[in-house]
Amino acid sequence: MSAARTTRLIALIVLAGLLLTFPLFASEFFVVQIGIQSLFLGLVALSLIFLAGYGGLVSLAQVALYGSAGYTLAILTVTYGLPWFVGVGAGLLASTLLAAIFALVSVRTQGIYFLMITLAEAMLVFYFAEQNRSLTNGHTGINGIQPPTVGALVMSDPTTFYYITLLVAVLVYLGMRYMMGSPFGLAFQGIRDNAQRMQSLGFNIFAHRVAAFTLAGLIAGIGGILGVWYNGAISPGSIDLTRTIDLLIIAVLGGLVSLEGAFVGALFFTLITNFASSFTDRFNTVIGLAFLLVALFFPDGLIGLSRKTAQLVTRTVPRRKGGLEASQSPSNLPNAAIHPKGTSSDSRNVGKQFLTTSVNPEEKEERQ
Amino acid sequence: VKSQTRVSIQPRWLHGSVMLMCILALIATACGGAPTSSGGGLNTGSSGKSANEIKIGVLATLAGPFAVDGQDALRGVKMAIAEFGGKVAGKTITMVSESSDGTPAVARDAARKLIQQDNADLMVGPLSGDEGLAVRDYAKTQPGKVFLNGSSGAQDTTLRNPAPNFFRFSTDGTQWMAGLGTYAYQTQGHRRIAVLAEDYSFPYSQVGGFMTEFCKAGGHVVKKFWVPIGTTDYSSVVSSIPTDIDAIYVDLGGADSIDFLKQYVQFGGQAKLIGGTVTVDQTVLSTKGTLSQRVLGVASAGPIADSNPDPAWQQFVHTYKTMFPDGLASPSLFAFTYYVNAKAALLALKQINGDLSNGEAKLRETLSTLQFNTPTGPVKLDHNRQAIANNFVTVVEKKADGTLYNKLAQVVSNVNQTLGVPEAQYLQMGEFSRDNPSCP
């Protein structure tokens, strides 16, 4: 276990180092278009994964909530010329309140019905932006939104903006991890696994779901503020059905089973959308195929894939070298990944069941 | 419940995911290579280029509703490069293309990729109006690179708040209407008309251009209907069109136009029709069905006319058909505008011997004063780097084999961006919108 902790620590330090030094060795294009974009898209995807993976609520309204914060910021700062912090505050408030209203309408439903209602909510926001010309400037949208300058912090500078986005993303991620371990987070997951049992234990299912959806609205709104600063503009095209589906793709690519999957999915998505077109004209086919492959073979997304790879590595290495030696070697990073197996109680995911059943027989062999 | 559920959020996958993020980050940075040097994007790794090469980045919509148009736009650039034998001043011209889906945010990202990652020396594009505004704003952040328009026709891209390094050798949506208002009033004798158009910037420009002339001639636009893009049911519009009008000016694109025309026939609409630049273009005219009787004689206007007898145009059509047997029946205005903008760039490069030093200063200077003959006549730029060129009024006619085409009715020479109105006075009229201009 201590070896596992060490490897985990090393991996974390390497990752933190990479993220922190990224602007020092990567070109501006990579910092802006891959780095910043992955981070703010990851934040919005995080809000979806939180709802879908931990609450069983697959929401299609997250991009619309992202847009509601973005539009509020754009309207207040550009149209009315108010200071940026008023726009940010009002934007976050707008997405949070709108999420609460959406939740009141939708969370009593489940499965496909929840999906359809949140889709309707998303389209409501889209058409409002498209057709309420006096407020949102219709199809053209609002241009010329500048990231603010706070004291010595010039946020329109790509490197500064990258670090601010990174800081926000890390804080939100850590906050959400902490929240998932809190009584509220645990109750939320309990409701996903067995709503009736949780109700009979005295939990208010409706209230928990509304609260979670509202929180997800706030997170999507944070992504929206950063996204609008990144694009310098917002138009209905930023929150249309294509963008809604893109976010679902990001979440599924990353894996609906863990919060960090949001950022992995977003990074993978931005890389593939930016670079598939360099190799082929049929880049949309490439994106579609990648999505199909992940959905078919790795239902837990890239996170699930990496976990599976980790298991394969740890199961082959000890055989060659002997288990003890390998587990002490710090180069054998994913070694500990198999430890918690069998203690998992969740049955929400076919993929996970598939994994456990396919791995177990071999493990028994090893034990014999 | 507590201890068991907790397991599912514990760092069981953290090892794997952290590993994976590291790997992805490493891949990302491996592609990224060295940081941009102070010269402004000399080399960012994956797409290095030799000193004997000039790279043109082309931005067109290869996905989304304008995908067919985007394909044709690329053909236009290829024609221009082929015309120069793929070389200018001994340097090889290479083309790298990026796609957007017609939304400003995607267009901006694609432009950034072309300039900052693919190392294009100059860029041609984008295709649609709102994209143009986004790319113009991006161009301001890259003063050392030259941007040429594709076919985007929003007037404000160059009229208000222009970028010093954004050049538009194609005319805009308002200029494309030149001649039509006068033609409708004088030749066709229309006095009172209604307007039906999609509710966004491109039709605002077109309606504005049409009305500027039509109202000045003495005509009246008694009612305007603005519908969202993608409207399929026009029954409420058709039923509320006033009866005491001579004609309806219709500015709808593609499927919207076809839907309206069909329903208008079904409801027995009697008023004559006048079309915007894309209302009766080749994509609409080639539709099977009962449209033909309705659209015969519909007047419209634009930067090209299919039947233009000018030998230069005929030669252009011939080259297009030879180079692209699988292309459209006749080059679209997208192929034409991308061709003209790319050709302008190549001509200027030739004049300066491919010298792109000093932040492409020579190229900007040469482009500003460049004049040349396009397949539709001469083109030159005004002080906002916006084209002054010919425009064509056309009427839908039927060929002997039954196919419909736009017959050239009138050529309007050297149309400038303010349609002949002095610029200060034109700017005072304000941006075209739903309510501006107005002459009920």
Tens-binned pLDDT, residue by residue, of chain B (440 aa): 344 433 344 344 445 555 555 555 555 444 443 333 333 333 333 445 667 899 999 999 988 778 888 999 999 999 999 999 999 999 999 999 999 988 888 999 999 999 999 999 999 999 988 899 999 999 999 999 999 999 998 899 999 999 999 999 999 999 999 999 999 999 999 999 999 999 888 899 999 999 999 999 999 999 999 998 888 899 999 889 998 999 999 999 878 888 898 888 888 888 899 999 999 887 788 777 767 677 889 999 999 998 899 999 999 999 999 999 998 888 999 999 999 999 999 999 999 999 999 999 999 999 999 999 999 999 999 999 999 999 999 999 988 888 888 999 999 999 999 999 999 999 998 989 889 899 99
* CB-based contact, A136 to chain B, within 8 Å: no
Cα nearest neighbour of A129 on chain B: B228
Are B12 and A340 a contacting pair at CB < 8 A? Answer: yes
Asked if A264 contacts A84 with a C-beta cutoff of 8 angstroms, the reply is no
Output the DSSP codes for B55-122. Answer: EEEEEEE-SSTTHHHHHHHHHHHHHHHHHTTTEETTEEEEEEEEEE-S-HHHHHHHHHIIIIIS--SE
Asked whether the beta carbons of residue B14 and residue A268 sit closer than 8 angstroms, the reply is no
Between helix A261-279 and helix A241-254 the angle, nearest 10°, is 110
Both structure tokens of B42? 């000399």
pLDDT at A326: 38
| pLDDT attached to residue A313 | 77
Cβ contacts (< 8 Å) between A156 and chain B: which residues?
none
CA distance B281 to chain A (A): 23
Predicted local distance difference test score (pLDDT) of residue A331: 38
Sort A191 into a burial class: Cβ within 10 Å, 0-12 / 13-18 / 19+: buried
* ipTM for the predicted complex: 0.77
Query: What CA–CA distance (Å, rounded) separates A236 from A249?
Result: 20
- Exposed, middle or buried by CB within 10 Å (0-12, 13-18, 19+), for A181? middle
Give A28's contacts in chain B (Cβ within 8 Å): 35-36, 116
What are the distances in angstroms from CA B134 to CA A135, A235, B111, B166?
20, 11, 10, 12
Distance of alpha carbon B366 from alpha carbon B352, whole angstroms: 8
| B20: nearest CB among A235, A264, A271 | A264
Between CA B406 and CA B296 the distance in angstroms is 10
CB A20 within 8 A of CB A241: no
Q: What type of residue sits at position A57?
A: L
Q: Give the minimum alpha-carbon distance from A181 to chain B in angstroms, rounded to a whole number.
A: 7
Report the chain A residue with the minimal C-alpha distance to residue B129.
Answer: A140
pTM: 0.82
Chain B contact present for A147, CB below 8 A:
no
Q: Is A30 on the interface with B (CB under 8 A)?
A: yes
Instruction: Identify all chain A residues contacting B117, using CB atoms and an 8 Å cutoff.
Output: 27, 29-30, 33, 274
Greatest Cα pair distance, chain B, in angstroms, is: 85
Cβ neighbours of A275 in B, within 8 Å: 31
| Contact check, Cβ <8 Å, B228/A33 | no
pLDDT per residue, tens digit, chain A (368 aa), is: 577 788 889 989 999 999 999 999 999 899 999 999 999 999 999 999 999 999 999 999 999 999 999 999 999 999 999 999 999 999 999 999 999 999 999 999 988 999 999 999 999 999 999 888 889 988 888 988 889 998 888 888 999 999 999 999 999 999 999 999 999 999 999 999 999 999 999 999 999 999 999 999 999 999 999 999 999 899 999 999 999 999 999 999 999 888 999 999 999 999 988 888 777 777 778 888 888 888 888 888 888 888 888 778 777 665 544 444 434 433 333 333 333 333 333 434 433 333 333 333 344 444 43
Counting one residue from chain A and one from chain B, the pairs whose CB atoms sit within 8 A come to 218
Residue A347 near chain B (CB below 8 Å): no
In the prediction, which pLDDT does A350 show?
36
**Token duo for residue A224:** 């929206």
The whole-number pLDDT of residue A354 equals 35
- pLDDT at residue B103, rounded to an integer: 87
Q: How many CB atoms lie within 10 A of CB A319?
A: 11
Of B12, B22, B103, the CB nearest to A14: B22
d(CA B373, CA B50): 32
CB contact under 8 A, B35 and A27: yes
Q: Which of A15, A22, A27, A142 to mutate to test the interface with B (most CBs of B within 10 A)?
A: A27
